[in-house]
Amino acid sequence: MTINSRGSCTAFRGRRVVWWFSAVLFLCVMTPLVSWSAVTLSPEMEKDLGQMLIVGFRGLSVDEASPVIQDIRKRNIGGVILFDYDVPAGSPVRNIASPVQVRALTEALQAAASTPLFIAVDQEGGKICRLKTRFGFPPTVSAEYLGGLDDPAASRRYAMAAAETLHEAGSNVNFAPVVDLNRNPTNPVIGMLERSYSADPAVVVRHAMVVIEALHSRRILLALKHFPGHGSSAADSHLGVVDVTRTWDPVELVPFERIIKSGACDMVMTAHIFNGNLDSRRPATLSAKTITGILREKLGYDGVVVSDDMQMGAIRSSYGLEAAIRMALAAGCDILVFANNSVFEEDIAERAVGIIRKLVADGTVTPEKIGHSLGRIKKLKERISPAP
């Protein structure tokens, strides 16, 4: 049978269509397998997902039935944070009652952990001080007071006392010093609480370095806060979104930049502030432009980035838990803090680990990102203070 040229062309096109359809079908079948293999975590990484969390809890003591002990044993959480006052309950009883009690608590927590815990405290001095004199701890003074004196020797005395207090209590992380510039003295969360050393970055760096040296002398880690600078705000990010677009100035980066360049920075804590000039969509904690673009790439920081409390109003009121975790990890955070002291969610660690696992499984967060974060955390934990 003779086939004319048009018939040959038609037959060829038919074969080409069949080949193309078969190729597409093959890719559709194989793609889920390729994607799944690309997002599978190693058993070690799977076990260590909880290392990316620092969690608050209730109790002056713990036992095997305590929820926080279950989080340590079953979810391998990276650390805990201690408070003196329980805000959601309106109770003066939380984790701190006396030096002896706190030491027994921290020892019990560490004893339950297969990986050494970060045990964090906000021990800035002055009004932001968890280990207070009423519990039997030594007196402290505010950063503003020390900055006003501008006497490094005085700052060193108080810093050494604070470092010794933390060490004896069994804490190995101080969420301090505050390196925000006091650009707005009526700022309800920085200036009015006397948490800033000065509006002058040179003064801030001078006294922050004294604090850092004292903490390091007792093998206690520090976190500079609150990046990229909370000092110019006019509202409290504990309550809701704080916009500093019109008040923030690049000079607020100077203390972070200088201390990072000195090599003395262990962690940087992010601020839940919105700055439309840095990112027109997201607050700093959730902003890749701010954390990856400025902190990591511009300032050259490759250490641990820890979020401020993810349950604060600035995040909780505007984002769901999964969205907030997804954006914080994508932005460059390594550790997420759930202080459980704005709201109390006993199962927050279990939920957060489950969300991180889901984000990896569906390809939203890469194993490489998790691996980098876990690597930074592991390296930092090699430096935490053992029990004296």
Q: Which two tokens stand for residue 228?
A: 């990229």
Q: Which helix (H) or strand (E) holds 223?
A: strand 221-227
Query: How are the residues of the chain apportioned to helix, strand and coil, as percentages rounded to the nearest 5?
Result: 50, 10, 40
Give the residue numbers annotated as catalytic, written as ranges: 238, 308
CA distance 127 to 250: 27
Query: How many other CB atoms are found less than 10 A from the CB of residue 146?
Result: 26
Report how far apart, in Å, the C-alpha atoms of 274 and of each of 61, 137, 243, 318, 343 are: 38, 37, 5, 12, 22
What 3-state DSSP class applies to 376? helix
Inter-residue contact 188 to 143 (CB < 8 Å) = no
Residue burial 42-54, b: 16+ Cβ < 10 Å; e: rest: eeebeebbbbbbb
Residue of 342, 281, 269 whose CA lies nearest to 87 = 342
